[in-house]
Amino acid sequence: MHVLSINCGSSSIKLALVDSVSRRRLLDMRIEEIGKPGCSLKRGEMIRPLGPQITFTDAARELLHEMLAVTGEQISIDLVAHRIVHGGGRFVRPTRLDERTLTELDALSQLAPLHNLSALETVRVAMKVLPELPHIGVFDTAFHATLPTRAREYALPEELRRKHGIRRFGFHGTSHAHVADAVARHLKTTPQHLRVVSCHLGNGASVTAIEYGRSVETSMGMTPLEGLIMGTRGGDLDPGILLELMRREHMDADALDELLNRRSGLYGLTGTNDMREIERRAAEGDESCRLAITLYSHRVRKYIGAYAAVMGGVDVIAFTGGVGENSAIVRHRCTQRLDFLGAVLDEDRNRDARIDDEHTIVDIADTHSRVRILVVKADEELAIADEACALLESEHATRDRLRIPVAVSARHAHLSQATLDKLFGPGYRLTVRNMLSQTGQYAAEETVTLIGPRGRISGVRLMGPPRDHDQVEISRTDEFVLGVDAPVRISGDLANTPGITIEGPKGTTTIPNGVITARRHIHMSPEDARRFGVRDNDIVEVRIDSEGRDLTFGDVIVRVDPSFTLEMHLDTDEANAAGIKREHVGELVERAEVTGAIERTR
């Protein structure tokens, strides 16, 4: 599958076209510094300046058109995967994006204004430019849906927490999940066997405690402001400071928002959010830059220790993100004096660690260190593509798993040998015309005529083998023609049903009862029933997708028997209403609910 992965940051849009099988990038391009003088589009060596007036919408359009111009007809795209920072409590797994989900996401934007607004703008542009493709949202918050209550709740009055949905969500989930998988693969084990402290140190930064594969603590909170020192965000702060600023500086919510999101952190301390420049200036003796590195690393180290305590130990400390992958100084400072945890850095390995497409993970721990210290290449675009693909594949798998063929039963009759004798002569044997899908059942060559008070219908097919009781199955339309009021029944339930006159080549007889309209039903084996999560006599729903006459049938009864072959039976009226042709075999899909709802798709 070719996945277009769109990673919208606070001031950049990164776009990668990924082959999900080879996991190769077929195309990489980005627009950086949106809204700033240096804003430019980059593809390989090519850099095209765009100017500061470009908005996110413009940037998204520019990138997508450039991408289409470059790929032309050569590369088909199967799906678009969008990184969305805040999915709130509702979006805890990758989700198909449409106007309804986008409106719900709009409401969450104020919780992550730096990212969500621009991401949603970008999604809308992409949906316009590529309207025929599925668009799937992958949420930074989703990986943290497993946070236990003790990590999730803030010590505020319950009423306020409930009213405003105040809780820890956590971010960078795609990256932390990727780290958990990558380190497990590297150590030839599974995430379920490891306690990992994952440090994502990019422009935004967060630490997550991943205990046996599950996020159990993470440093970002209800918004991405909490926790580590970041490019332009200061992370943890005494809330009293905000009160003081409101009183002394008369700052309102917007002013504080601007301060906390854009003017704090490394930028607030040094005037730049670029760690490379900070390291260079620190080496030249710049005190503010030295302070910035000290504060930054101290905060990370504090979290590593805390999270080891949270998990009762740690097996891996992992660094990822622009700073985590590239800054030996920061890694050195973050892991100082952690030998009490069993984590000892190898200074040479740390200094020499180089991460690239070939070497996506490097161990920088001392050989004797019990805890492995790993540098992991962040590949957010690939991780986003992986998650979106997994959703599409599981949708397909579910659909395949739940397919049920549909058979259309025209009017027919099951007769007893005694009735056959009267209509065809004594000892008459039916001739097999064709076998039916249910074991031993067949359609016979023979037909009869039904005669009701109002009219007659000839050519009614007989089914074999003969049964103990006569049973005539007609449609609602036939009822009108014949003038018979047949109840909707399952096969064999003939009490209080009307009778009818039947004419055969050798005689005519009137059966006292046995005329029914067959209740729509599904035959299935016990194995099928287990697969669908239904039981004998369950009532389910079946959706027929028939290009123009889609219809959901309720009141479909499940019949389970070891001799049954999976098949849903509809009569001709029902089939016509749903646009199913005679003998059409549809494919049904269950909506896996407790009620055993079953849907069909083609």
Of 137, 170, 202, 452, the one binding ligand ADP by CB under 6 A: 202
Residues near ligand ADP (CB under 6 A), total: 15
CA distances in angstroms from 449 to 413, 462, 471, 503, listed in the order given = 10, 10, 14, 5
Strands (DSSP E) along 268-363, which ranges?
A: 316-320, 361-363
Which of 531, 528, 591 has the alpha carbon at shortest distance from 563? 528
Of 276, 396, 401, 469, the one binding ligand ADP by CB under 6 A: 276
Q: Is 140 a catalytic residue?
A: yes
Task: Pick between residue 333 and residue 461 the one whose CB is nearest to ligand ADP.
Answer: 333
Instruction: Give the C-alpha separation, 3 to 382, whole Å.
Output: 9
Task: Pick between residue 260 and residue 415 the one whose CB is nearest to ligand ADP.
Answer: 260
CA distances in angstroms from 357 to 9, 322, 326, 379, listed in the order given = 22, 14, 14, 10
Task: Pick between residue 125 and residue 329 the one whose CB is nearest to ligand ADP.
Answer: 329
Of 4, 9, 259, 572, the one binding ligand ADP by CB under 6 A: 9
Does 465 sit behind a cis peptide bond, omega within 30 degrees of 0 on the bond before it? Answer: yes
* 140 Cβ neighbours under 8 A, 6+ residues apart: 83, 84, 85, 86, 87, 171, 172, 173, 174
Task: Pick between residue 213 and residue 322 the one whose CB is nearest to ligand ADP.
Answer: 322
Q: Based on the shown chain and the rule CB under 6 A, indicate whether residue 231 belongs to the binding site for ligand ADP.
A: yes
Q: Based on the shown chain and the rule CB under 6 A, indicate whether residue 515 belongs to the binding site for ligand ADP.
A: no
Task: Output the DSSP codes for 225-270.
Answer: TSSS--SS---S--HHHHHHHHHHS---HHHHHHHHHHSSHHHHHH
Q: Based on the shown chain and the rule CB under 6 A, indicate whether residue 274 belongs to the binding site for ligand ADP.
A: yes
Contact set for ligand ADP, span 290-349 (CB under 6 A): 321-323, 326-327
Task: Pick between residue 236 and residue 274 the one whose CB is nearest to ligand ADP.
Answer: 274
Which residues on neighbouring strands pair with residue 518, listed in sequence order? Answer: 489
Alpha carbon dihedral 278, 283, 287, 292, in 10-degree steps, equals 40
Of 5, 116, 174, 203, the one binding ligand ADP by CB under 6 A: 203
Task: Pick between residue 202 and residue 498 the one whose CB is nearest to ligand ADP.
Answer: 202
Number of residues assigned to the chain: 602
Q: Which stretch binds ligand ADP (CB under 6 A): 185-193, 201-209, 520-528, 582-590?
A: 201-209
Angle at 21 between CA 19 and CA 22, to 5 degrees: 70
Q: Based on the shown chain and the rule CB under 6 A, indicate whether residue 268 belongs to the binding site for ligand ADP.
A: no
Q: Based on the shown chain and the rule CB under 6 A, indicate whether residue 350 belongs to the binding site for ligand ADP.
A: no
Among residues 19, 58, 98, 140, the one annotated as catalytic is: 140
Task: Pick between residue 267 and residue 303 the one whose CB is nearest to ligand ADP.
Answer: 267
Task: Output the DSSP codes for 511-578.
Answer: ESS-EEEEPPEEEE-HHHHHHHT--TT-EEEEEE--SS--EEEEEEEEEE-TTPPSEEEEEHHHHHHT
Does residue 231 contact residue 323 with C-beta atoms inside 8 Å? no
Which residues on neighbouring strands pair with residue 5, listed in sequence order? Answer: 16, 81
Q: Which stretch binds ligand ADP (CB under 6 A): 199-207, 239-247, 354-362, 460-468?
A: 199-207
Token readout for 305 is 């220790």
CA distances in angstroms from 434 to 440, 441, 444, 463, listed in the order given = 11, 9, 7, 10
Of 18, 210, 275, 518, the one binding ligand ADP by CB under 6 A: 275
Question: Which residues does the annotation mark as catalytic?
Answer: 140
Residues that bind ligand ADP (CB under 6 A): 9, 202-204, 231, 273-276, 279, 321-323, 326-327
